[in-house]
Amino acid sequence: MAGPQMTGQRVIVVGAGPAGVRAAEALVAAGLRPLVIDEGRRDGGQIYRRQPEGFTRGYQALYGTEAVRARAAHETFDALKESIDYWPETLVWNVSEGQVWTHRDGIADAVPYAALIVCAGATDRLLPVKGWNLAGCYSLGGAQIALKAQACAIGRKVAFLGTGPLLYLVASQYLKAGANVAAVLDTAPLSARIAALPKLAAQPDLLWTGAKLTLALKRAGVPVLSGVTPIAIEGSPETGVSAVRVRTASGSERAFECDAMGMGWHLRPETQIADLARCAFGFDAKTGHWLPECDEDGRASAPQVYLAGDGARILGARCAEVTGELAAMAALADLGRAIDTDRRRALLSAKAGYRRFADGLAQAFPWRGDLARAVSDDTVVCRCENVTAGTLRASVTVGGATEANRAKAYSRVGMGRCQGRYCGAAGAEIVAEARGCSLEAAGRLRGQAPVKPIGLSTRRAGA
Ligand SMILES: Cc1cc2nc3c(=O)[nH]c(=O)nc-3n(C[C@H](O)[C@H](O)[C@H](O)COP(=O)(O)OP(=O)(O)OC[C@H]3O[C@@H](n4cnc5c(N)ncnc54)[C@H](O)[C@@H]3O)c2cc1C
């Protein structure tokens, strides 16, 4: 059969994290030479982010309990380099008519694909808190990247606010690195974690790792509070953050002095590439995410497009390796190649276990859309464009916007540098509240090219 591979087109993998590495490995094992594109300087993705050349910290220091897996992913990718084409520091900023648009060093190029495997990962899911636009407020991911990639902390005394495993992980990493951790403030009630235990038991070692992190923080004397309601991050535009104030589960008010904040409410999938490739999306009521639709193997609704890793659904790093390989197998099957059906079955079964664990995490650390809906009118929602909740609400109540995209056009929430990647989730909650409709009815911000900023001076390759 004359598949697209035989017409000279490529299988393109976007992302060199755990999902992308395993996808590339499976393609190479089948005799193909895929093109792997990643905007990062080095492979590894988020969790197995490699330190810059010249830094010499060891695997154990950098990756802790995941050191063995990190080394395996890096060694696999290093061994693959002879058999793939690898474009690091290259952004995929658009997908149209069977080609991806790339950008590197001011040059844009269009590369046609026979199959496109999107392994774009996830980013922090954020909620606005009054004062979160002060200097010193970072996402949890930003705080972790500072530590992992640059070996520096975001402040001298750091408070962590939000929910999810990353909250405890990053706080413990800061503690281990010698930083002063002012407090760990979880908006999820303890009861949610207890209720989720049967599902979390699907991955007992991960459950135990999480429990040990909390214990280590408490043993070090760090205040660890569950069920808090954020009131405000205090400070001044001149000096930045000075404290975070919360209402505790018992109803009292407490303030914790700090000079930096790490914030995050679990993760959100990076779905813009799937969106630009015209994949259909569906609303996932369990997590409140809009997700690109795909079958169990990762086959999306758009032809020749496959989705894997956290960019398809937040199932964690270990499952990203599984879904990366599955997506590659789906692409290979569609290209007319034979696949190992026993292997596929084993991967699908592993995926089911990880899915149960992920359901447990969503239950244990729920997204608090109600907190976004309750923010005061003077709270900044969109930090890129400095737009307040009041302006966003007025785009609905006065302007007549009925869904997120129209509200964006009227208010500029989601119009800035981040393209709604950080404010979109909370913005949709505020639109839903102002309109008195469900989150699903408030819709989702459509992906727009370029998915991340590219220079105005960008020119077409060869021009
Ligand atoms: C900030 C952050 C920190 C995390 N820390 C931990 C942790 O410490 N421990 C843990 O267990 N889990 C952690 N997680 C979760 C974990 O990183 C993921 O489960 C796992 O990395 C998913 O693997 P992936 O291959 O799907 O995506 P990733 O590992 O995120 O890899 C995606 C890759 O795609 C590339 N990419 C994305 N978009 C484009 C584009 N448009 N063009 C080109 N390249 C692109 C990125 O540069 C990245 O290298 C973290 C997640 C985040 C977001």
Is the CB of 385 within 6 Å of ligand 1? no
Q: Using an 8 Å Cβ cutoff, are 351 and 309 in contact?
A: no
Amino acid at 160: F
What's the rounded Cα separation, in Å, for the pair 159 and 137?
10
* Spatial contact of 199 and 356, defined as CB atoms under 8 Å apart: yes
pLDDT band at 8 (very low <50, low <70, confident <90, very high): low
Cis-peptide into 453, omega within 30 deg = no
Residue in the block written with tokens 């949610």: 192
Q: How far apart are CA 309 and CA 23, in angstroms?
A: 10
Do 11-123+268-361 and 126-265 show the same overall fold?
yes
Is the predicted pLDDT of residue 2 greater than 50, yes or no?
Answer: no
- Summary mean pLDDT of the chain: 94
CA of 127 to the centre of ligand 1 (A): 20
- Contact between 292 and 285 under an 8 Å Cβ cutoff? The reply is no
Superfamily of domain 11-123+268-361 in CATH is FAD/NAD(P)-binding domain (3.50.50.60)
Q: In this predicted model, what pLDDT tens digit does every residue of 90-147 receive, in sequence order?
A: 999 999 999 999 999 999 999 999 999 999 999 999 999 999 999 999 999 999 989 8
Q: Whole-angstrom Cα distance, residue 136 to residue 133?
A: 8
Fold of 370-442: Arc Repressor Mutant, subunit A (1.10.10)
Choose which residue among 46, 50, 74 to substitute to test ligand 1 binding: the one with the highest number of ligand atoms within 8 A of its C-beta: 46
What's the 424 CA to ligand 1 centre distance in angstroms?
19
- Ligand 1 within 6 A of CB of 37: yes
Give residue-wise pLDDT tens across range 24-51. Answer: 999 999 999 999 999 999 999 988 988 8
The CB of 307 under 6 Å from ligand 1? The reply is no
The span from the CA of 326 to the CA of 298, in Å, is: 7
Ligand 1 geometric centre to CA of 319 (Å): 12
Centre of ligand 1 from the C-alpha of residue 123, in Å: 7
Q: 116, 245 in Cβ contact below 8 A? A: no
Q: Which atom of ligand 1 is nearest to the CA of 38?
A: 44
Strands 289-292 and 10-14: unpaired
Q: Residue 455 contacts by C-beta under 8 Å, 6 or more apart in sequence? A: 106
Q: In what order do the strands lie in the sheet with 157-163?
A: 137-139, 260-265, 157-163, 180-186, 224-225
User: Taking the domains of the chain in order of start, what are their residue ranges?
Assistant: 11-123+268-361, 126-265, 370-442
Count Cβ atoms below 10 Å from residue 56 Cβ, excluding itself.
6
Question: Cα of 120 to ligand 1 centre, how many Å?
Answer: 7
Q: pLDDT tens digits for 295-334?
A: 999 999 999 999 999 999 999 999 999 999 999 999 999 9
Express the helix, strand and coil content of the chain in percent, nearest 5 each. Answer: 40, 25, 40
What are the tokens at 268? 């959100």
φ/ψ region of 439 (left if φ > 0, alpha if ψ in -120 to 50, else beta) reads: alpha
CB of 365 closer than 8 Å to CB of 266: yes
- Is the pLDDT at 254 greater than 60? The verdict is yes
Question: What is the residue type of 40?
Answer: G
Residue 188 carries which DSSP code? S
Which CATH topology does 126-265 take? FAD/NAD(P)-binding domain (3.50.50)
- Of all atoms in ligand 1, which is nearest to the CA of residue 316? 19
Q: Mean pLDDT across the stretch 287-297?
A: 96
Q: Check if the beta carbon of residue 412 is closer than 8 Å to that of residue 382.
A: yes
Going by C-alpha positions, the residue among 147, 375, 418 that lies closest to residue 260 is 147
Q: Is the CB of 17 under 6 A from ligand 1?
A: yes
As a whole number, mean pLDDT of residues 276-282 equals 97
From the CA of 309, give the closest atom in ligand 1.
Answer: 26
Cβ-based neighbour number of residue 250 at 10 Å: 7
Task: Report the separation in Å between the CA atom of 296 and the middle of ligand 1, taken as the mean of its atom positions.
Answer: 21
**Is the separation of the CB atoms in 147 and 187 below 8 Å?**
no
- Taking the CA atoms of the chain, what radius of gyration do you get in angstroms? 22
Minimum-distance ligand 1 atom for the alpha carbon of 122: 53
Written as six digits, the tokens of 417 are 């540098």
Look at the block and give the residue holding tokens 């061994």.
Answer: 79
- Tell me: pLDDT of 4 over 60: no
Strand positions, DSSP E, 322-411: 380-382, 387-388
Ligand 1 pocket, residue 122 CB under 6 Å: yes
Give residue 338 CA to ligand 1 midpoint distance, Å.
30
More confident residue, 330 or 53: 330
* Cα–Cα dist 116/118, whole Å: 6
Q: Is the CB of 269 under 6 A from ligand 1?
A: no
Question: 40 CB less than 6 Å from ligand 1?
Answer: yes
